[in-house]
Structure 1
Amino acid sequence: MNELDEVTRVLFVGLEPETVDYSDPALPPGLDATKIHAGIALGMQLMAARGWRADLRLVRPDETAAVAVERQLATATYDCVVIGGGIRIPPKNLSLFEILVNTVHKAAPNASIAFNTIPEDTADAVARWLKAE
């Protein structure tokens, strides 16, 4: 928990659902932007239910992603940053994933970095690192 505001701050970073290639075989079948948006909303609700203040930063899979995340990280002291499965799982996003991990590492060196598998398990990913079950 950060000392400034005594509430756990979480940043959830994911791809804009409309930019995801849902035909990628690395992703679970049946996903679409509507399901991802619903999952994100549920993930955010689950974090709020644990008493955490969670911010969402959706990025595009291009050179603007790191800048957007760096700007977001400058707005608050985050205890944990979750990088979503849509960034981490597809092999074609490896470069983007590396860029974002290093952006978080540099811009928020005291924040834990966690990874979800689906938006709905974001709170569980945070809890693993905050040990706040």
Structure 2
Amino acid sequence: MPNILVIGFDPHTIPGFDPAPVAAAIEQGSKAFAELGLAEDLFLIDFAELGGAAEAKLVERLQQRQYDAVVVGGGIRKPTELLEFFQTVVNLVHWHQPQAAIAFNSGPTDSADWVLKALEQKRA
């Protein structure tokens, strides 16, 4: 069973944001991983810990086990003001999980689809 790390923001920690739709989508995405026989390890970052604390926790998670693929969620990737943090996340994944495929999603509900594509590319 492939091990997949999914990195995103905890929607409950984003100021001025309604977390309910994203939390429901994350749950739906987790079900999709299970249905496909993929072991999902969900790592949600507290938005208030952006920077050093979040990065240290991510490194700790990346060092805990071997992953076949790592998904960097759209909440980290899309906002221009988070570009530096996004770059840091991608580099940390690359440095600590160099053998893992890296996948990106358009939202929590299609993460599993993108992981399958990334794993297929890795095998090719």
What TM-score does the superposition give when structure 1 sets the normalisation length?
A: 0.82
Matching of residue 20 in structure 1 with residue 6 in structure 2: no
Aligned-residue CA RMSD in angstroms?
1.6
Aligned residues: 118
Matched, 1:52 2:44: no
**TM-score for both structures, normalised by structure 2:** 0.88
Q: Equivalent pairs: percent with the same residue? A: 36
1:1-80 pair list within 5 angstroms: 7-20=1-14, 32-61=18-47, 62-63=50-51, 64-80=53-69
Aligned partner of residue 42 in structure 2, secondary structure: strand
One-letter amino acid of the structure 2 residue matched with residue 60 of structure 1:
D
Residue in structure 2 matching 1:102, options 85, 91, 97:
91
- Give ranges in structure 1 of 5+ residues lacking alignment: 1-6, 24-31
Structure 1 runs of 4+ aligned residues shifted over 6 Å read: none
AA in 1 matched with 2:44: L
> Structure 1 residues 22 and 94, CA, compared in 2 at 3 Å: closer, same or farther?
farther
Instruction: Report which of the two has the higher share of helix.
Output: 2
Q: Which moved more, 1:61-70 or 1:112-121?
A: 61-70
2:74 counterpart of 1:85: yes
Return closer, same or farther for 1:131/1:21 CA change in 2, 3 Å cut-off.
Answer: farther
Is the counterpart of residue 126 in structure 1 residue 115 in structure 2? yes
